[in-house]
Structure 1
Amino acid sequence: MLEINALWGEHLGCEVGADDDFFALGGNSLIGIRIIERLVQQYGVELSVRDFYLAQTPARVAELIEQGRART
């Protein structure tokens, strides 16, 4: 989880907590795609842009990653 928070913080330029909202922190489509690409590389799971945007927080994105790992 801390890795996901740090990744978001790296791209958003701020401290990020587990329940912080991507869009409230200034996230946009370009930043979202960059984060998704890194998550896919790091964790080896497929994560759609739609799922990422609907999740909106690092905690929920972590849940999606865990679900993706369980499927592979």
Structure 2
Amino acid sequence: MSLVREISALWGEYLNDGAVEADDNFFELGGNSLIGIKIIERVAQEYGVELSVRAFYLAQTPTRVAELIEQGRAGT
């Protein structure tokens, strides 16, 4: 499974009854600060990458969050 699909599935656990596409917007799906923090914590646990709340909110889509994770893994 690609990282983007993994992140979409992770978001789906918290948003929109599990139906999250790669370019869906976090806030348009009903995302809020509490859900964002939960997802950020899961990313840290499962991928070993610490995302800032600001970066997560600016990313807004699973595709962009996956890019942040890849950057974090690469140390950039």
TM-score in same-fold range (> 0.5): yes
CA distances 1:39-60 after superposition (whole Å, capped 9, x unpaired)? 0111101100000000000000
Partner of residue 63 from structure 1, selected from 61, 67, 71: 67
- Counterpart of 2:8 in structure 1 is 5
Alignment of 1:13-28 (within 5 A): 13-28=17-32
- Identical positions, percent: 76
- C-alpha distance in 1, partners of 2:18/2:74? 31
Gaps of 5+ in 2: none
Asked if 1:53 corresponds to 2:57, the answer is yes
Gaps of 5+ in 1: none
Matched to 1:68, the amino acid is: G
Alignment coverage as a number of residue pairs = 72
Matched to 2:40, the amino acid is: I
| Aligned alpha-carbon RMSD (Å) | 1.1
CA distances 1:8-43 after superposition (whole Å, capped 9, x unpaired)? 000112300000000000000000000000001111
- Counterpart of 2:36 in structure 1 is 32
- C-alpha distance in 2, partners of 1:36/1:46? 7
